[in-house]
């Protein structure tokens, strides 16, 4: 018997939580938007003329700033600082992403704002930490500096960056988690989240293998996994297929469907990697990527045809929401019984 559908909540799980955002471009605004989607009241503090990402495009700004209100303040002026203090007095948290010197100069730390509210949580997103200096720390620069670009791409080609801002987005999620954790603790204070630290954290098993076993990560063709075989992209008769065999049960089902004998255990497949990859490549060449996906999914084998973003969005209309005039990808956090009321990004208000 299926479980009953929970009653729809009229307010989000973060209803009543008031957050100030001094965000720019991506990491900070994305963190605050995730919280706003869950019902938090987010006020975006912008300079005269608006936050810089308003000048990128309307769709760019909307993708990171729906469900917020906005106020323009000159934080370099006494009047702006006074208004900031008034807002902080009634806020649960402030989230900022600027370089450390600007965060301190504009009074956007717990040390500065606790005089107005000793329960406020101040979250700083920076490149290298609040004490890490002001060196430029944009997404791609950080990915290059911590080893991600060196890990990505064909072994015989140049280092490669992903086609989206993975460092900014990941850091935004981490900052939102840190903000909520500190609010739950019941005490105010400073939370310090850096792009560098987040990306090192996401290199978890690669870093552990090097630090403990001296194993240096290496690039493999078609993005092959370090530990699992076969787990990578494969060419097919038409298109590419991602196949991710992580245990022997998956292999048994796949091998039967593909007509491959042997290599029953992961230990064998890792030891005979090149033989396995040759057999799998030969088998997959007999059909298209879309067909293989259709054949393997019912067997419980992790596989997907490589799609473009437009193709993926067309195939998954349920992820698209309407926020005013904008069609956007909705919140990835689905709370049963609650459906966000997606509102358009804020217009500029003084």
> How does residue 2 score in pLDDT terms, banded at 50, 70 and 90?
very low
Neighbours of 9 (CB within 10 A): 14
Give the integer Cα–Cα distance in Å for 299 and 164: 32
Tell me the H-state helices in the chain.
27-37, 58-65, 78-89, 100-105, 110-113, 139-146, 148-151, 166-185, 195-202, 204-213, 248-258, 266-271, 273-284, 289-296, 309-315
pLDDT at 44 over 70: yes
Half-sphere exposure of 197 (CA within 13 A, CB side): 14
> How does residue 37 score in pLDDT terms, banded at 50, 70 and 90?
very high
Tell which residue, 97, 74, 69, has the closest CA to residue 84: 74
The catalytic residue positions are 168
User: For the segment 313-340, what is each residue's pLDDT rounded down to a tens digit?
Assistant: 999 999 999 999 999 999 999 999 999 9
The pair of three-digit structure tokens given for residue 220, joined into one six-digit string: 């493999």
> How does residue 10 score in pLDDT terms, banded at 50, 70 and 90?
low
pTM: 0.92
Give the integer Cα–Cα distance in Å for 210 and 150: 15
pLDDT at 1 over 50: no
Tell which residue, 346, 338, 343, 336, has the closest CA to residue 321: 343
> How does residue 7 score in pLDDT terms, banded at 50, 70 and 90?
very low
Neighbours of 350 (CB within 10 A): 7
Query: Is the CB of residue 93 less than 8 Å from the CB of residue 123?
Result: yes
pLDDT of residue 248: 96
pLDDT at 6 over 90: no
User: For the segment 158-194, what is each residue's pLDDT rounded down to a tens digit?
Assistant: 999 999 999 999 999 999 999 999 999 999 999 999 9
């Amino acid at each position: 018997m299926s479980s009953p559908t929970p009653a729809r909540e009229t307010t989000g799980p973060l209803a009543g939580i008031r957050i100030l955002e001094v965000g720019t471009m991506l990491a900070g605004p994305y963190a605050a938007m995730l919280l706003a989607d869950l019902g938090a009241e987010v006020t975006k503090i912008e300079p005269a003329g608006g936050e810089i990402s308003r000048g990128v495009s309307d769709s760019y700004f909307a993708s990171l700033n729906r469900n917020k209100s906005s106020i323009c303040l000159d934080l370099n002026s006494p009047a702006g600082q006074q208004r900031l203090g008034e807002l902080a007095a009634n806020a649960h948290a402030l989230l900022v992403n600027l370089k450390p010197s600007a965060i301190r100069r504009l009074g956007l730390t717990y040390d500065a704002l606790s005089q107005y509210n000793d329960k406020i949580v101040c979250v700083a997103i920076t490149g290298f930490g609040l004490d890490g200096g002001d060196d430029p720390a944009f997404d791609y620069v950080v990915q290059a500096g911590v080893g991600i670009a060196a890990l990505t791409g064909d072994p015989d080609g140049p280092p490669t960056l992903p086609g989206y801002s993975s460092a900014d987005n990941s850091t935004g999620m981490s900052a939102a988690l840190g903000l909520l954790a500190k609010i739950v603790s019941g005490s105010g204070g400073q939370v310090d989240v850096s792009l560098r630290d987040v990306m090192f954290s996401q290199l978890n098993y690669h870093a552990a293998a090097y630090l403990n076993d001296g194993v240096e990560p290496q690039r493999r063709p078609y993005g092959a996994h370090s530990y699992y075989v076969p787990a990578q992209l494969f060419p097919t008769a038409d298109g590419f297929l991602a196949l991710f065999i992580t245990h022997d049960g998956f292999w048994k089902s796949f091998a039967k469907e593909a007509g491959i004998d042997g290599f029953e255990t992961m230990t064998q497949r890792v030891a005979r990697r090149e033989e396995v990859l040759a057999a799998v490549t030969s088998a997959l060449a007999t059909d298209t990527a879309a067909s293989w996906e259709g054949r393997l999914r019912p067997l419980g084998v992790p596989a997907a045809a490589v799609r473009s973003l437009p193709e993926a969005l067309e195939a998954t209309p349920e992820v698209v929401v309407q926020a005013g005039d904008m069609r956007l990808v909705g919140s990835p956090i689905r709370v049963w019984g609650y459906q966000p009321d997606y509102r358009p990004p804020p217009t500029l208000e003084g």
